[in-house]
Amino acid sequence: MIQPLPASANAPFTWLMGDLAMQSNNLSFQLVMEWRSWQGQRLKLLFILTCFALLCALLTLILQLGHQLFSAPPTWTKPTGYLYTLARQHGDGRLAPLHRQAIDTAADMPGIQAAAWFSLHTTNVRLGSEPQQDLRTLFYSDSFSRVLGVEELAVNETPGVWLSERYWRERLRSNPDVAGQLLSHNSFPISLPIAGVLPASLNRIGAFQPDIWLSDHWYRYLTPFSVDSEVMLDRFLQAAPFYYGILATSQPLHAEALTEHLRQQDLTVPGMRMGGDGSELMVHTGLNLDPPARLKLLQQWQLGLVLLLGFGLVLSLNTFTVFTSRLIQQQENYRIQQVLGASMLQLLRGPLLVAVILIAATAVLSSLLSLGLLQLLHSDSLQSTVGEAGLPLDWPRWLAALALVALLLFGCTCLPVLRFSQQALFSRQTGQSRSRSQKWLAQLNLTAQLWVALVALAFMLGLSWQQWQQFRSYPLDTGLLALPVQQSATGFDFSALVQNNVPQVQAAEVAFEVGSFDSQNSNELNDDRLAGPLAIQQRIVSGNYFSRLQVPLLQGDDDWHGGVVINQTLAQQLAAGTDQPLLGSELNLGSFAGRHPIVAIVADIPHHGFSQSAQPTAYLHHQSAAMLVQFSRSLELYFPAEHQARLKPAFMAWLEQQLTAPEFLPVQSLAARLQQQDQESRQLLRFSSGMILLVLLTVFFSLYYQVRNRILLERQEYGVLLALGASDGRLLARAASQPLLALLLTLPLALAALAWLLHSSGWLSAFALQFNPMIFAFAAILLLLMAWIAALAPITGLLKKPIFGLLRTH
């Protein structure tokens, strides 16, 4: 008589039979089984987990930056409607202030509910017991608080001055008793009490970092006109280009149409004529006080989005490949489960469990990575756009990013099992060659990954080449030291320095510039050789400025005693409108700077960093700009670093005798100054390089595992080839045929993608990159080498195995 098997004999199979035994619901048992099944591949699993956590964190960052760029106001504002910025704009994107007449005209237009404005000036004041000092002062209108929702600046009956948190912390050492102290100015009729310290979020307003905030009412005492001359004073304040306007509406408006309408209006003030600086009136959507920084942040967002999409695609395909290969290796177990009647849910139990564990671990790790990335993300462009406080973690957007990552993980882990369950039982066994559909799927998977890698690598190499050319295109002695000097009065006398009458100093050792190396001194150039007014940079320098900085003159004599020297960029624009030589012709720099002959053309100097394009610049000899020198309050001296111990004390002793209360700022090399200006570009390049390396590493692992798994499945065929005497090269070519074919298919697809991305309307058009065939070919060769190495490693291991072991079926 046949006896039934004891329960213990069925124990190993009961977890396959659904609810027939308790083991089917034993979560710890399933976790142990899954953990053991990943033996030898746990490092791969950790890599996938880390990459998905990084993907979730980067996606959160991209979502938050996009929200700030396209819809959200800066963090320091709380507007109730839509905001628009009204100012003048230079050709390079920098904003310039405009006159009140334009703001008042815009405020009277239909749809504009309210208008506010502010201006920025340097005022010489005495604050409490502090010595008299120059402070960056922001004068705000009475409607500023209401329009922007800054409650601290609400108009009070008692006049007062507000301190920025940065100034209070850095200069006043967080003095808790500062409230109530008095601020005095020689032109103010009374001393103003300190009302308090503003929140840290107001430390930065666009590109501006004010020290103190005052009501616009007090600026009336700082003009050239007496407050008793109300008519002339009001006209001056209406016509002077001091203000940045902010318009508030309840409904969205078209900024372009508003700009054109205002440009057509008569915005002149009778009896007042102010000089121009080459800028044009412009209305920007939102509170956009630093368009270049916003554009740079937009470039970073676009680049990050493209890299993130590429990284996400490669990672998803790689993960899908890993779980497909895992399924092929464990297909006999799945067939047994199907024979025993396992349902679809029971087949998916293992992959679902892995997906849930990966999602939970990704949630924990990505939240930490998101917080860390937002703490590290404190670029100048971000602070100019959203405020100095930066971006806090937006948990709803983090949840949205996590949901997308969870969807990808569920798809990558479960889709292979769903495809497998649709096949007929016993259609194939381990050891047989893969079906044609599986081969084509693997080929498409690999082609997509190599396509992303080739596009990303070609763009990154092009961007690196562009920056390398920029860094090599400027002849400049960056090892020179710069000593910035400021004074409370105005005017400089350089005669003693030029005539070698400063003790311990030779005139040839030092060059100087009125202002600073990286200052913005805009002027409007009106010349018949130009198509229209041109905004240029105007600088006042010493006669040996170019020789000391080792910048070559392209035309003209190094012995420079007067006149104006123009840079190569300005010379090209002037030469385009005439066939006459530029040297010897006159350049009209306006009523203040006057007319001067062009005596030389100099190579472009990177005053604003190597990563910035050169601006048209005119260099005035200090003797030809005597009047402008007498109204200047800052100076910068340049000298070799090896003579600092001798020259710096000599300069300080000479200037202390000549200037009124001079302030000597820390000495800094030109290299450090330029590196600071290029910091964001370098950070962007490092971030892009890191993402590209991560994509390449992911693609390499995918190549390696796909080739290895293919060799495992076709090991009998390799064994037959070895038995027939096939050479190692033929085996290697067979193993590398799949990635090489994928790379061949990738080339036209990558060319099309790059053409679209770099087009004038493409996502990466802001980088102004031109397609370079040599760089594209170099990127393709790098991927070819990577594919060859990925195929070489598994073949090397295969050749070490005995032939009879490869010929066995199991």
Are the beta carbons of 181 and 106 closer than 8 angstroms?
no
Tokens at 543, concatenated: 């006669």
Tell me what percent of the residues of the chain surpass a pLDDT of 90: 26
Place of tokens 């310039």: 96
Residue 316: count other Cβ atoms within 10 Å of its Cβ: 20
- pLDDT over threshold 90, residue 404: yes
Are the beta carbons of 607 and 554 closer than 8 angstroms?
no
Segment 474-478 mean pLDDT? 80
Q: Which helix (H) or strand (E) holds 348?
A: helix 344-376
Tokens at 155, concatenated: 């108009």
B/e letters for 779-810, b = 16+ CB within 10 Å, e = fewer, are bbebbbebbbebbeebbeebeeeeeeebeeee
Task: Please tell me the distance from the alpha carbon of residue 706 to that of residue 790, in angstroms, as a whole number.
Answer: 9
- pLDDT over threshold 50, residue 7: no
* Ranges of H-type helices in 576-659: 590-593, 626-630, 644-658
Please indicate whether residue 612 or residue 514 has the higher confidence score (pLDDT): 514
- pLDDT over threshold 60, residue 769: yes
3-state SS class at 669: strand
Task: Please tell me the distance from the alpha carbon of residue 344 to that of residue 604, in angstroms, as a whole number.
Answer: 70
How high is the pLDDT of residue 431? 40
- pLDDT over threshold 90, residue 650: yes
Are the beta carbons of 17 and 23 closer than 8 angstroms?
no
Place of tokens 């067979």: 734
What Cα–Cα distance (Å) separates residue 794 from each residue in 197, 384, 434, 731, 788?
67, 52, 18, 11, 11
Q: Of the candidates 377, 379, 460, 382, which has an alpha carbon nearest to the alpha carbon of residue 685?
A: 460
Are the beta carbons of 522 and 90 closer than 8 angstroms?
yes
Task: Please tell me the distance from the alpha carbon of residue 311 to that of residue 426, in angstroms, as a whole number.
Answer: 37
Tokens at 183, concatenated: 């601020």
Task: Please tell me the distance from the alpha carbon of residue 312 to that of residue 310, in angstroms, as a whole number.
Answer: 5
Which of the four pLDDT bands, split at 50, 70 and 90, describes residue 809? low
Segment 182-210 mean pLDDT? 89
CA atoms within 13 A on the CB side of 116: 23
Tokens at 506, concatenated: 């030779």
Please indicate whether residue 58 or residue 156 has the higher confidence score (pLDDT): 58
The amino acid occupying position 682 is R
Ramachandran angles phi, psi of 708, nearest 5°: -65, -45
3-state SS class at 234: helix
B/e letters for 580-616, b = 16+ CB within 10 Å, e = fewer, are eebbeeebebeeebbebebbbbbbbbbbbbbbbebbb
Are the beta carbons of 84 and 262 closer than 8 angstroms?
no
- pLDDT over threshold 70, residue 434: no
CA-angle at 493, arms to 488 and 498, nearest 5°: 140
Quote the DSSP letter at residue 183.
E
Angle between helices 255-263 and 100-107 (to 10 degrees): 120
Lowest mean pLDDT segment, chosen from 358-367, 398-407, 464-473, 496-505: 464-473
| pLDDT digit string, tens, across residues 559-582 | 788 889 999 999 999 998 888 889
| pLDDT digit string, tens, across residues 284-301 | 998 888 888 887 788 778
Q: What is the pTM of this model?
A: 0.70
- pLDDT over threshold 70, residue 20: no
How high is the pLDDT of residue 437? 63
How high is the pLDDT of residue 470? 64
In terms of C-beta density within 10 A (0-12 exposed, 13-18 middle, 19 or more buried), how is residue 165 classed?
middle
Task: Please tell me the distance from the alpha carbon of residue 599 to that of residue 585, in angstroms, as a whole number.
Answer: 8
Segment 384-396 mean pLDDT? 73
Residue 500: count other Cβ atoms within 10 Å of its Cβ: 11
Segment 778-785 mean pLDDT? 88
| SS3 of the chain: helix, strand, coil, percent, to 5 | 50, 15, 35
Tell me what percent of the residues of the chain surpass a pLDDT of 70: 89
Place of tokens 């971006």: 391
Three state DSSP letters for 680-741: HHHHHHHHHHHHHHHHHHHHHHHHHHHHHHHHHHCHHHHHHHHHCCCCHHHHHHHHHHHHHH
Place of tokens 């601290």: 152
Quote the DSSP letter at residue 134.
E
- pLDDT over threshold 50, residue 153: yes
How high is the pLDDT of residue 26? 67
Lowest mean pLDDT segment, chosen from 296-310, 395-409, 607-621: 296-310
Query: Cα–chain-centroid distance for residue 424?
Result: 53
How high is the pLDDT of residue 378? 63
Which of the four pLDDT bands, split at 50, 70 and 90, describes residue 53? very high
Task: Please tell me the distance from the alpha carbon of residue 613 to that of residue 759, in angstroms, as a whole number.
Answer: 20
How high is the pLDDT of residue 807? 67
How high is the pLDDT of residue 155? 56
Segment 689-716 mean pLDDT? 76
- pLDDT over threshold 90, residue 105: yes
Lowest mean pLDDT segment, chosen from 19-28, 88-97, 168-177, 352-361: 19-28
Segment 391-395 mean pLDDT? 83
- pLDDT over threshold 80, residue 637: yes
Task: Please tell me the distance from the alpha carbon of residue 335 to that of residue 211, in angstroms, as a whole number.
Answer: 74
| pLDDT digit string, tens, across residues 739-768 | 888 888 888 988 888 888 887 777 777 677
Segment 264-286 mean pLDDT? 83
Segment 90-102 mean pLDDT? 87
Strand partners, 95: 89
The amino acid occupying position 691 is M
Tokens at 734, concatenated: 């067979």
Three state DSSP letters for 679-696: HHHHHHHHHHHHHHHHHH
Residue 433: count other Cβ atoms within 10 Å of its Cβ: 13
In terms of C-beta density within 10 A (0-12 exposed, 13-18 middle, 19 or more buried), how is residue 372 classed?
exposed
Task: Please tell me the distance from the alpha carbon of residue 60 to that of residue 525, in angstroms, as a whole number.
Answer: 46
Q: Are strands 511-514 and 534-541 parallel, antiparallel or unpaired?
A: antiparallel
In terms of C-beta density within 10 A (0-12 exposed, 13-18 middle, 19 or more buried), how is residue 524 classed?
middle
CA-angle at 256, arms to 255 and 262, nearest 5°: 85
How high is the pLDDT of residue 367? 92
Tokens at 382, concatenated: 């971000």
Task: Please tell me the distance from the alpha carbon of residue 355 to that of residue 353, in angstroms, as a whole number.
Answer: 5
Task: Please tell me the distance from the alpha carbon of residue 243 to that of residue 235, in angstroms, as a whole number.
Answer: 14
pLDDT, averaged across the chain: 82
How high is the pLDDT of residue 386? 65
| pLDDT digit string, tens, across residues 108-128 | 999 999 999 999 998 888 887
Which of the four pLDDT bands, split at 50, 70 and 90, describes residue 154? confident
Segment 690-714 mean pLDDT? 76
